[in-house]
Each structure stands twice: as C-alpha cells, then as structure tokens.
Amino acid sequence: MSRKRTTARSTQAGTTNTFLTLSLLIVLSMIINACGPGGDEPAASDTQEEAAAAAESTDSESGGEEAAMEVDLSPSIYPEPQLIMGSRAVQKLSLDQILTYKALDSYNEPDWVSDLVADGLLPPVEERLPVEPRVVLESGMADGIGVYGGVWRDFSACPTEGFNRGAGQSAGWFGIEAAAFASLLKSGPIYRRSDSLEPLPYLAKSWEWSEDGFELTMHLLEGAKWSDGHPFTTEDVLFTWEDMIVDKNVQSPKGASAWMFNDEMTQLEVIDDFTFKFVFPVAFPVQALFQMDESDFHISPAHILKPLHPKHNDAMDYVDFEASMPPNKVPVVLGPFVPVEYITDELMILRRNPYFWGVDEAGNQLPYLDEVVFEKGPSGVGRTLSTLAGSADHSNLENPSTFVETLKRAEEDDAHFYVEWGPEVLGFSIKMNLSTSLGVKDDRDAAVRELFRDVRFRKAVSFALDREGIAQSILRGPFLRGWAGGLFPGSSYFDRDTVAYFNNNPEAAAALLAELGFEDTDGDSILNWPTERLASGENLVLALVTSEDAEETQTVGDAAVTLLGDLGVQINVRPLNSAARREMTEAGEWEMKVDRDGQVYAVPFTRCTDLGPVTKEYHFHREGSEPRELLDFEQDLIDIIEAFCVEPDTDARKELMAEYNRLTTENVYFVGVFIGRYGLAAAKRFKNVPAGMPVFMYQWTWDNVMSEQVWVGPAEQIDQLRPGVIPTYDSE
Ligand code: CA
C-alpha cells in the first residue's frame, strides 16, 4: 500500500558559501540533518587532553634528493587533539553513579501540581509513581539537585504527522520524540559511562542473558503509568511486538527484519506483568540491546491502539490505524513531557508528564522543567538563527558555515547561550574501489584496480595529503584536523596508539610511486604506467568522485588534484548527487571517491557489519558477477568484526577494535582526510547539562542530555505559555 512517509532523513544539500570574508575562509556546509530519526554516535572519548601542541609536522624530513632510496616510509605519531576553548571533558561515571531504581521514603512535586491533587484532578504523587522509581543520582548531576519550574524553548524544522511513532509517524523530530516518548533502553547517555558501552536502563530496569546466550530476560519497572494514568505492563510490550513490529502492514521504525538472525525470527515470550524474554536463534546477539533503544522498539500504548488495530477492529484499515494518534489530540505517552497543544507548522507546547516515573535522590518527581516549546520552521538553519536571536535555547552546530557567526555571538556579554564542542566524530575520507571485477570494462580499469589493491599505492596517496592544510582551508582554527582513517578519534573505542598515520610526506609518496614502477617517460610531468602493469604506458590519470551534497568533499577533491598532481598523478574530479553516487556504487563504476563517513566509525558496535567487507554489498569492495578476491588483511578484518558483533564483554570489544584500527590504518584500508566536531549551543541558564555532552553520538542532544534532570534557577526562569496546565484526556 502506498502511504506518505515524511520521516526520511534528508541530508540537505550543502549550500556552501564562501561569504564571510575576514580571514576565515569557510567553504562548505557539512551535514544538515533534517527530518530524520535521531542519529547516534559514540561516547565522547575525552578528546581534549592537554597536548597543546598538536602540530603534526614531525617526521616529514628524510629523503635526500637523489634516488629516493633512503626515504623514511614509516608512519608518524598521530597527535592528540587540540584543546578547544570553552569545551569541557566528559565526566565518565559508572551506571550506579548516574542512576538507580529504588523506593524513597517520600516524594515531592511542584506546588501547583499538589493543588491539582488537592482538587481531585490527580492522584497523590506516590500513587502516580512506580514501586521503585528510576532515581537520577546527585553524583551524576553536573549542578546537583534542581528546583521546579522553567521552560526549554526549542525549534523543529520537520512536520508533525502525528504521534503513532510505532506505525512510522514522525512527531516532528528535533527532540520532540525524545521529550515525549520513552523506550525500553536508552543509548543517548552511553557517552557518560565508564563501566560499559551498553545502553542504559530506562523502562526496562535490568536484564540478563541465559548461560547459553539464547535467551534474554527483561525486567520492566513495576507500576509505571502512561501519561493518562493507565498502567504500563508487558501487555504494551507484547502489543508493540506482535501488532506493530512483527505485523508487516505496520511501518515500524524497525520491523521484523531487525530481529532476524540467520534468517530465523526471534521470539518474544511474556513471563508476567513486568517480565518478558527474547528467545534468539543465535547465542549472544548482544546488538539486540541497540534495537530496544530510542526510535527502535517503540513502546506503544496497547490500551489506546489495540482497539484501533485492524487485526482487532474490522472497521479500521492500516492507513486509519497509522493516523489514529493525530497531532491535534493529546497523545498518551511515557516520556517526561507530553504534547498538549499543536498549532500546525507554528508551535508545539509540551507540559510536564505528571505520571513520569523518575525522581531525583531527594524524592522530587522529575522532570524539573514545567514546559517545553518547539517553534516550527521550514529549515534546520532556523534553529541556529533563533538561538542567535535569543528566542531558542538550543541548537546543534553541524554546519561549519554557521560556526563563526555563532561563536562570535556567544562571546558577547549579553548572549544567553554558550557553545561547547563535542568529540571528533565528523570525518571525511577517500576510498578506492578494491573490486577486481565489478565495473571493470577494459585493461586499464583492471590495472587501476590492481594498483588500488597494492598497499604501496594507498600509502602513497595518504602520504601525499597535507591534512592540516586541507583542514585549515575549510575552517581555520582548532575545529578540524587530520585523520588517518579507521575509527573516529571521538569514538569510545578509539585508541591513539593503534593509529598508523601516513601523513604529509610527499617524498615518501614519490618513492612509493617510483617503487611501483611509475615514471614520467614522455616529459609531460604526468607519471606513465609501467608497461608491465598497463601495456599502453599511458599517463596515470584517475577519476575521483565527490558529493554535491557535502561541499567539503569537493574541497578535499580539489586538494587531491593539487597534491597528487605535484607528484605526477593526474586526478579528475567529478561531483555527483547522492542518487547518482548510489547508482555508481551499485554498478561499481568508479575509481576513487570522497565520502563523509557515517556513524559506524563513531559507534562501531551499533552497526558492526558496516565496519568492513563483511557483506557482499560493502561499498568499496563490492561483489559483482565474479566472487570477490579479498585481500589478506580484509579477511582478518572480517574475522575481527564477526567476533566483535557477538562479544558481550566491553573490554574484549575494545581489544578487538584496537586490532581493527591497527590493521585498517597500517594497511590504509581507506584514506582518512580530516575530522571535525559538532558543537552544542545551549542556554546558559540550563543546569545539569552534562559536561562535554556531544550533540550527536549514539543519539542527538535531547536523548543525550537526560532532559528530565535539566533545571533553571528561579531568578532565571522565563514565563511559561501554559502555566498550570497538565495533559488531560477524554475519559470514555
Ligand atoms: Ca607522462
């Protein structure tokens, strides 16, 4: 059936401009994530250590000008990142320092909520809370126990289709989902954990694997309630599983295929009201924990939706069902805030959920804030503009063309926001096509692929790059720097000692090209193929594809033309749009490409098979009609990745990733170019925003911050739009 879906994560074309004269040359625009489910990203790896001098100029002397025999081909040391002013390191804590589940002697609520209780409009707070609420601990709070009141003003550039997220609808992204909905587990704050890289408990307070690893038993918080006061139980979990996830007619955020292993389906069995288990066809599919976090296993209210589901209601079809939680009706949810008012394309007002099942250590029911307001606008840039103008309290800086202006404004005395930079997880790299057959049409293509498969050539390309120069030409200052490839330096799995950094050493590059037999035999300054590699002996000319959607890939392409050109390698650059790039990848008809790399190098575990050529569709070593001829180290990578995907122990996973990173960078599996950071702009009045919080790691800001713990001091609180309002429902 055809149905509208507005949830596509559109990667907006970068409208790069070179305006900002000054000394700040900004070419590009990076990612602008518009209407997509939150991204994820890796735990911050405390990137800012001291290491003030991060110049990476070192070992690039060496070679004499004679025959390039004595050139030093060893990698240089990968530097520590530069400290960025105003940024704080993440304070890593174990889970038991961040939160727990326990009963407290007594509970509190805002006075105005107590008034509603006194008027008989709500049950007393202890009856609204679970037996053992989720307790956010003071030891994990940046500014300690908070006070009630206050507003968070934000901005959404995506349409609100409705609140039936489990059937694929979008509530408007930009944090609306994170504010209103709750999941079994929560990945957003993993970056804060020192003890493990697993999701944090949320509606599920604990879980355990059977000894053989085939069963995973989950324990729900007992006695939590939906925002209308109805109990939350395994009835909701079972409904979500059977009638949303497994039902192919429902467009769940993640469907049944996410729960298939070796073509066999996982089973879910309810044990009692608060306990259920998964029975897996394989042992220890630990990644399943990441299928239960934000936006995946979307817990849907059975008492609302089951009577409207076509399987249980003949009068309904799936289109009606999807639309059965419309944007103009107060939804029944489990998150800390409930949308109570929506003016199409203008404004959404969310108020505290009086049934939210979390408290602080002093027994104060959370959230602290009374209200969240999302202004609606047509474009994500509006969020930054509204933040600059003072009407929004938060923006994610993901587009370097706005970095400078935002920073300048933040430095003014009357600015209401600060800027903080997250870990280094924004990477760009050059890939070479390693397939021996897919897209190969003639002798030259075959020779090019063989060349790419020779580590000496990949190393030569890497040595040719002056990464610092490239990074600074894109954005001056400490925001971008060189990157070797492999894991992002901001990943929790990153270990600097495993990096082989072949950087900015043109003599080494020239020596390697000479060793490969390339020589300019006809005096036109372009190296010629050795005839034993390509009989024609023609000039070495290679094609490099960049992306129209990410302007900085074109900057990298231009730099490659110059730097490789200096060595006698002619590069022809061609920008393509994302659709054309996808076709090109599928047909294998490309030689080199510049990529903006994905989340896998930041949070490798959440999509581990993308780390290397595990599947036959792997983008730069893809199978065609002939079987792939894997390089020796590629088979080693696959072995590492397959072990990693099913390794339950975090330390063991880290060791595997260390080996992965060593192999990847020593073999220059792909050529990393530069790495950057996302920035957070947030209101100065907000308390308890964790230090060094990334805007994008496993998830985006709203999931990373734990919004229920954010508070504002009484003197700084601004007026609420709907003071005294709680969500109310028609009782039928
Ligand atoms: Ca030549």
Residues 150-198 have pLDDT tens digits of 999 999 988 899 999 999 999 999 999 999 999 999 999 999 999 988 9
Report, as an integer, the average pLDDT of 588-613: 92
Which pLDDT tens digit goes with each residue over 474-524?
A: 888 888 999 999 999 999 899 999 999 999 999 999 999 999 999 999 999
C-alpha of residue 539 to centroid of ligand 1, in Å: 5
Instruction: Report CA(453)–ligand 1 centroid distance (Å).
Output: 23
**What pLDDT score does 401 carry?**
64
Sorted by sequence, the CB contacts under 8 Å of residue 632 that are 6+ apart come out as none
Structure tokens at 87: 């940024």
How far, in Å, from the CA of 463 to the mean position of ligand 1? 21
Distance from the alpha carbon of residue 231 to the mean position of ligand 1, in angstroms: 77
The residue among 71, 7, 69 whose CA lies nearest residue 38 is 7
Task: For 122-157, write each residue's pLDDT tens digit.
Answer: 999 999 999 999 999 999 999 999 999 999 999 998
560 C-alpha to ligand 1 centroid (Å): 18
Rounded to the nearest angstrom, the distance between the alpha carbon of 527 and the centre of ligand 1 is 5
Ligand 1: centre distance to CA 166 (Å): 61
- The predicted pLDDT at position 25 comes to 29
Q: Are strands 358-360 and 134-136 parallel, antiparallel or unpaired?
A: parallel
Q: How far is the CA of 537 from the centre of ligand 1 (A)?
A: 9
Do 422 and 699 meet the contact criterion of CB atoms below 8 Å apart?
no
Predicted pLDDT of residue 551: 76
**Neighbouring C-beta atoms of residue 206, cutoff 10 Å:** 11
d(C-alpha 547, C-alpha 542), whole Å: 17
Q: Name the CATH superfamily housing domain 103-393+685-716.
A: Periplasmic binding protein-like II (3.40.190.10)
Centroid of chain to Cα 33: 11
Cα(434) to centroid(ligand 1), Å: 25
Identify the pLDDT of residue 333: 98
User: What does residue 702 show for φ and ψ, rounded to 5 degrees?
Assistant: -65, -30
Residue (of 424, 426, 400, 427) closest to 672 by Cα position: 427
Centre of ligand 1 from the C-alpha of residue 568, in Å: 8
Q: How much of the chain is helix, strand and coil, in % rounded to 5?
A: 30, 20, 55
Give me ligand 1 centre to Cα 558, in Å: 21
The Å distance, Cα 306 to ligand 1 centre, comes to 72
Q: Which residues contact 192 (CB under 8 A, 6 or more apart)?
A: 43, 90, 91, 92, 93, 98, 140, 690
Q: How far is the CA of 346 from the centre of ligand 1 (A)?
A: 62
544 CA to middle of ligand 1, Å?
Answer: 19
Give every CB contact of residue 19 below 8 A, 6+ residues apart in sequence.
26
Indicate whether 625 pLDDT > 80: yes
| Å from CA of 518 to ligand 1 middle | 9
What is the Cα gyration radius of the chain?
27
Task: Give residue 519 CA to ligand 1 midpoint distance, Å.
Answer: 7
72-86, 447-461, 657-671: range with lowest mean pLDDT: 72-86
Question: How many angstroms separate the alpha carbon of residue 530 from the centre of ligand 1?
Answer: 11
How far is the centre of ligand 1, averaged over its atoms, from the C-alpha of 576 (Å)?
A: 28
DSSP structural state of residue 687: E
Tokens 């581990």 sit at which residue? 608
β-bridge mates for residue 208, sequence order: 217
Amino acid at the residue 232: F
The answer to whether the beta carbons of residues 425 and 677 sit under 8 Å apart is yes
Residue 18 has pLDDT above 60, yes or no: no
CA 437 to ligand 1 centroid distance, Å: 27
Q: Output the CA–CA distances (angstroms, integers) from residue 621 to 178, 388, 453, 488, 551, in the order listed.
A: 37, 44, 10, 21, 25
The answer to whether residue 69 scores a pLDDT higher than 80 is no
pLDDT at 16: 30
d(CA 523, ligand 1 centre) in Å? 6
**Average pLDDT of the chain to the nearest whole number:** 89
Contact (Cβ atoms closer than 8 angstroms) between residue 311 and residue 305: no
Mean pLDDT, residues 520-535 taken together: 97
For ligand 1, the distance from its centroid to the CA atom of residue 65, given in whole angstroms, is: 20
Distance 449 CA to ligand 1 centre (A): 20
For 325-341, the pLDDT digits (tens) are: 999 999 999 999 999 99
**Ligand 1: distance of its center to the CA of 454 in Å?**
21
Cα(696) to ligand 1 centroid in Å equals: 47
CA of 557 to the centre of ligand 1 (A): 22
Q: In this prediction, what percent of the chain has a pLDDT beyond 90?
A: 74
Q: Kindly tell me the sign of the dihedral angle through the C-alpha atoms of 203, 207, 213, 214.
A: negative
- Mean pLDDT confidence for 11-17: 31
Which pLDDT value is given to residue 70?
81
Distance of CA 322 to the CA centre of its chain: 27
Whether the predicted pLDDT of 629 surpasses 90: yes
Percentage, residues of the chain above pLDDT 70: 90
pLDDT bracket for residue 8 (50, 70, 90): very low
Q: Helix, strand or coil for residue 176?
A: helix
Query: What separation in Å is there between the alpha carbon of 574 and the centre of ligand 1?
Result: 22
pLDDT at 565: 98
Ligand 1 mean position, distance from CA 440 (Å) = 24
Whole-number Å distance, alpha carbon 89 to ligand 1 midpoint, is: 51
Which two three-digit tokens encode residue 536? Answer: 């024609």
CA of 444 to the centre of ligand 1 (A): 16
**Surface-to-core class of residue 438, CB atoms within 10 Å of its CB (0-12 exposed, 13-18 middle, 19+ buried):** buried
Mode of pairing for the β-strands spanning 371-376 and 151-156: parallel
Decide: 679 and 397 in contact? Cβ < 8 Å.
yes
How many Å lie between the centroid of ligand 1 and the Cα of residue 438?
Answer: 28
CB 601 within 8 A of CB 697: no
- Separation of alpha carbons 155 and 170, rounded Å: 15
Q: Which residues contact 389 (CB under 8 A, 6 or more apart)?
A: none
What residue type is assigned to position 22 of the chain? Answer: L
The Å distance, Cα 466 to ligand 1 centre, comes to 24
Residue 91 CA to residue 689 CA, distance in Å, equals 12
Cβ 711 vs Cβ 683: under 8 Å: no
Residue 174 CA to ligand 1 centre (angstroms): 53
Q: Residue 593: which pLDDT band, with cuts at 50, 70 and 90?
A: very high
> What are residue 11's DSSP bridge partners?
33
Distance (Å) from CA 534 to ligand 1 centroid: 14
The one-letter amino acid at 701: T
- The predicted-structure confidence for 663-696, as pLDDT tens digits, reads as follows 999 999 999 999 998 899 999 999 999 998 999 8
pLDDT of residue 24: 30
Q: Cα(529) to centroid of ligand 1, in Å?
A: 9
594 Cα: distance to centroid of ligand 1 (angstroms): 25
What pLDDT digit, counting tens, does each position of 37-63 carry?
Answer: 433 232 333 232 323 233 333 333 333
Neighbours of ion ligand 1 (CB under 5 A): 520, 522, 524, 526, 528, 539
Distance CA 596, CA 615 (A): 21
Strand residues in 164-294 grouped as ranges (E): 185-186, 200-201, 204-209, 215-220, 260-261, 264-265, 267-272, 275-279
Residue 224 has pLDDT above 70, yes or no: yes
Write out the DSSP string of 617-666.
T-TTS---SSPP---HHHHHHHHHHHHHHT---HHHHHHHHHHHHHHHHH
Give the mean pLDDT of 99-117: 98
Non-local CB neighbours of 635 within 8 Å, separated by 6+ positions: none
How close is the Cα of 459 to the center of ligand 1, in Å? 22
* Residue recorded with tokens 């390089």: 631
The pLDDT value given to residue 59: 36
Q: What are phi and psi of 178, to 5 degrees?
A: -65, -35
**CA 513 to ligand 1 centroid distance, Å:** 13
Cα of 60 vs centre of ligand 1, distance in Å, is: 27
The C-alpha atoms of residue 322 and residue 301 are separated, in whole angstroms, by 13
Q: What is the pLDDT of residue 195?
A: 92
Examine domains 103-393+685-716 and 422-677 and report if their fold is the same. no
Is there a cis peptide before residue 336, judged by omega within 30 degrees of 0?
Answer: no
What's this model's pTM, rounded to 2 decimal places?
Answer: 0.78
Distance 34 CA to ligand 1 centre (A): 47
Distance 514 CA to ligand 1 centre (A): 13
Ligand 1: centre distance to CA 570 (Å):
10
pLDDT of residue 258: 83
Fold entry, domain 422-677:
Dipeptide-binding Protein; domain 3 (3.10.105)
| pLDDT for residue 64 is more than 80 | no
The residues with which 610 forms a beta bridge, in sequence order, are: none
In the reported structure, the alpha carbon of residue 525 is separated from the centroid of ligand 1 by a whole-number distance in angstroms of 6
| Boundaries of every domain in the chain | 4-72, 103-393+685-716, 422-677
Cβ–Cβ < 8 Å for 562, 399: no
Q: How confident is the model at residue 257 (pLDDT cuts 50, 70, 90)?
A: confident
Q: What are phi and psi of 549, to 5 degrees?
A: -85, -10
Rounded to the nearest whole angstrom, what is the distance from the C-alpha of residue 531 to the centroid of ligand 1?
13
Give the distance (Å) from ligand 1 centre to CA of residue 67. Answer: 19
What is the Å distance from ligand 1's center to 63 Cα?
A: 23
